């Protein structure tokens, strides 16, 4: 099926094609049309799933964990306050090693009440042990939703698919939704490695002393590392079957670039136009989009940025008291690299403020300019 659908509808179709079996969900703008979409696909017979209208996001994630331990494929979606409410259980899901997939529509955090996009909600979950993939268009959202289950079930870790509020969640684009039978060949039914089983009664998550806990973290970290390969493989297999490939990071016109912009999510697609414009003027600029944020694709980034003199990082988020989060992650990934490019961090687009081609061009200009920027350079800021 090829249709013009929104990013959120693409998530719903992704969950349907992945044959999610249990969907506990609680509404929050801008995620709502995902769960409405899933309810509609269940009604239409496109998806056979237990839909649980839970009374909070906290319960949504708890029910996902219970369902996953009962052997089912569990899916949910949320945003912002809902994601923050889940925080305890995000850690729980990742340490319980359940392959839950969740769509998270980036929305800035209150107060004041806002529904517009920025990344502080999802990035605040950086250390919960979830794999995180940031998407830039509706087709990628669909493809990544299905890919996410493959990755999750291969490494026994939960996966968060992240998409920007409205700019992506509510913007309609042509999307190819492959037939269920074709997706089934990419993603066979879940074969859980451990389940609640009355014929083999086990306890899960019991008392841990200092003698054993660290090894659970070690194993989790090993699986996170394995997730890099799992994500690559999932993407390659998807490309073989459906002709679309994204990579862990995506390079755009980086050949011979002196200055490379590192961005994520939809601003990265806007930045492609800006790169084209500047290239046409003879400026040696390029773009790297970070698609996989956890595990962090440090090797890929070092390779992609090796030839550049300067890297500008555009962060639609801030770690108050420090810097943009992608910027700091990138700096640590490049640390110790011979002839490492200079990294300059830019923060903008918070609370959904538009990141226009002009504002992204400003990032390039300032990054290439002679003047050393202050430690944090703000974009589109009202003085």
Rounded least distance, CB 224 to other proteins, Å: 21
DSSP, collapsed to helix, strand or coil, labels residue 106 as: strand
Looking at the Cβ atoms of 200 and 375, the one nearer to other proteins is 200
d(CA 276, CA 228): 30
Chain mean position to CA 134: 3
Dmax (CA) for the chain in angstroms is: 70
Looking at the Cβ atoms of 91 and 253, the one nearer to other proteins is 91
Q: Which helix (H) or strand (E) holds 299?
A: helix 298-305
Looking at the Cβ atoms of 174 and 205, the one nearer to other proteins is 205
Looking at the Cβ atoms of 61 and 105, the one nearer to other proteins is 61
Looking at the Cβ atoms of 50 and 362, the one nearer to other proteins is 50
Looking at the Cβ atoms of 66 and 247, the one nearer to other proteins is 66
Interacting residue ranges for other proteins, rule: CB under 8 A: 21-22, 24, 49-50, 52-56, 58-60, 62-74, 88-89, 92, 196-198, 201-209, 212
Looking at the Cβ atoms of 197 and 354, the one nearer to other proteins is 197
Tell me if the bond preceding 112 is cis, omega within 30° of 0: yes
Residue identified by tokens 């420090």 is 322
d(CA 45, CA 213): 44
Looking at the Cβ atoms of 50 and 328, the one nearer to other proteins is 50
Rounded least distance, CB 202 to other proteins, Å: 6
Rounded least distance, CB 201 to other proteins, Å: 5
* Closest among 295, 292, 303, 296 to 337, alpha carbons compared: 303
CA–CA distance from 167 to each of 8, 118, 286, 290 (Å)? 11, 11, 23, 18
Residue 44 CB coordination number (10 Å): 9
Residue 60: both structure tokens together: 């949504």
Rounded least distance, CB 96 to other proteins, Å: 9
| Residue 260, phi then psi, degrees to nearest 5 | -120, 130
Residue 244: both structure tokens together: 């679309």
Angle between helices 325-334 and 298-305 (to 10 degrees): 80
Looking at the Cβ atoms of 69 and 246, the one nearer to other proteins is 69
Tell me the Ramachandran region of residue 41: left when phi exceeds 0, alpha when psi lies from -120 to 50, beta otherwise.
Answer: alpha
For residue 128, what is the DSSP state?
G
Rounded least distance, CB 54 to other proteins, Å: 6
Beta bridge mates, 102? 76, 160
For residue 336, what is the DSSP state?
T
Rounded least distance, CB 178 to other proteins, Å: 23
User: Cβ(89)–Cβ(62) under 8 Å?
Assistant: yes
């Amino acid at each position: 099926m090829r249709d013009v659908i929104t990013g959120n509808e693409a998530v719903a179709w992704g969950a349907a094609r992945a044959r999610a079996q249990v969907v506990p969900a609680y509404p929050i703008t801008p995620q709502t049309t995902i769960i409405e979409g899933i309810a509609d696909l269940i009604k239409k017979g496109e998806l056979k799933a237990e839909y649980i209208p839970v009374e909070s996001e906290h319960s949504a994630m708890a029910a996902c964990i219970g369902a996953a331990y009962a052997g089912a494929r569990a899916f949910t979606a949320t945003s912002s306050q809902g994601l923050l409410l889940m925080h305890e259980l995000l850690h729980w899901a990742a340490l319980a090693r359940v392959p839950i997939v969740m769509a998270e529509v980036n929305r800035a955090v209150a107060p004041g009440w806002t529904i517009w996009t920025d990344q502080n909600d999802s990035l605040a979950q950086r250390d919960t042990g979830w794999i995180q993939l940031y998407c830039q268009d509706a087709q990628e959202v669909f493809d990544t939703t299905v890919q996410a289950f493959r990755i999750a079930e291969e490494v026994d870790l939960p996966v968060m698919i992240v998409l920007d509020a409205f700019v992506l969640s509510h913007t309609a684009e042509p999307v190819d939704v492959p037939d269920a039978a074709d997706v089934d060949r990419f993603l066979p039914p879940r074969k859980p490695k451990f389940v609640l089983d009355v014929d083999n009664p086990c306890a899960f998550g019991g008392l841990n002393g200092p003698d054993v806990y660290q090894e659970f973290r070690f194993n989790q970290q090993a699986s996170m590392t394995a997730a890099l390969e799992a994500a690559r493989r999932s993407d390659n297999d998807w490309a073989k079957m459906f002709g679309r490939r994204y990579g862990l990071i995506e390079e755009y016109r980086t050949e011979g670039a002196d200055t490379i912009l590192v961005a994520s999510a939809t601003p990265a697609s806007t930045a492609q136009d800006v790169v084209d414009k500047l290239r046409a003027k003879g400026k040696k600029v390029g773009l790297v989009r970070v698609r996989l944020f956890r595990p962090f694709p440090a090797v890929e980034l070092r390779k992609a940025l090796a030839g550049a003199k300067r890297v500008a990082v555009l962060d639609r988020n801030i770690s108050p008291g420090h810097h943009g989060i992608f910027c700091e992650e990138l700096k640590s990934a490049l640390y110790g690299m011979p002839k490492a490019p200079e990294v300059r961090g830019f923060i903008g687009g918070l609370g959904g403020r538009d990141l226009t081609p002009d504002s992204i061009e400003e990032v390039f200009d300032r990054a290439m300019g002679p003047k050393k920027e202050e430690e944090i350079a703000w974009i589109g800021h009202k003085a």
